[in-house]
Amino acid sequence: MTILGIWVRGLAMGVADAVPGVSGGTVAFLTGIYGRWLAVLTAVRPSLWGVLRREGVKGLWAHLDGSFVLPLVVGIVMSVVTLAHWIEHWLTLYPERVWGFFFGLVLAMGLHLVADLRAALISRHGLYFVFGAVLAIAIGLQTPTATTPALWIWPFAGAMALSAMLLPGISGSFLLLLTGLYPALIAAVTGGDFLVLGLFLCGGALGILSMAHLLKWLLSRFESQVMCVLTGVVFGALIRVWPWQAEGGGFEMLRLPADGTFWLPFGLACIGFVGGWLALWVGGQNEMKEAD
């Protein structure tokens, strides 16, 4: 995997994490870097200090897979600072078009995952797929609320949001919306409230590292079952990127337009689907070349 390819994946993860309803974990899962990203996060532990003392900066760099994590993190940060702002702007002006593109993109990559797991899905492990899909649908159908949080809430909010970023299909931003914390967090970012941001990031760091260790442990022992659950979550989460959503909660918010607003989001969904399929095909060809 090239540095450019890792950086582009980081860009996509940053955009996804900033948009409620889309998950950076989904991007990592669908683009084939999920296991490697988990390995980096689970390598962050107190023993790193001993690695630094024994092997120096070069050994620490190798231990943390620096050639992978550096371009990935740079891409995520660049995306959050630049592209994510534009995505949120487009979501305000053209929500159906943006969601249409995301819907097609995630659908294409989800079908690719199903093809890879078809042997497991037709066995009893298929029930894990159903569980993941139902879980994501249940979360996705909830209606966001609004609140003004106390300071002690923010570490827990950070742990919830950042750990959710590792779960394909479950958006940390959307969980913040559900709990009414998303507007307050955006206000803290734009207003430079470093106390709130510091509490949020401290809780988030603990949350994402704990979740990474849990997921790595589960994958090492129940890989087929976990992959089926995560694939189900990806498909269930499509309900949050359905282009034509009405106000309110439950299935009532899902609809098809009765006017001419159907075709442009549908066309963008097709573009997203084809783009996702082509990206997977090119990635597969590159993997075959590297294997040769």
Taking only the tens place, the pLDDT of each residue in 103-142 is 887 788 778 778 777 776 677 778 889 998 898 888 777 7
With tokens 């879980």, the residue in question is 135
Q: Tell whether the torsion through CA atoms of 276, 277, 282 and 286 is positive or negative.
A: positive
**pLDDT on residue 87:** 66
Please check whether residue 165 is in contact with residue 16, taking contact to mean a CB–CB distance below 8 angstroms: no
Spans in the chain with pLDDT lower than 50: 287, 290-291
What is the predicted pLDDT for the residue at 291? 47
Q: Are 172 and 165 in contact (CB under 8 A)?
A: yes
The neighbouring-strand residues paired with 254 are: 245
Q: Apex CA 53: angle with CA 50 and CA 59, to 5°?
A: 90
With beta carbons less than 8 A apart as the criterion, state whether 236 and 67 touch: no
Residue 285: the pLDDT is 55
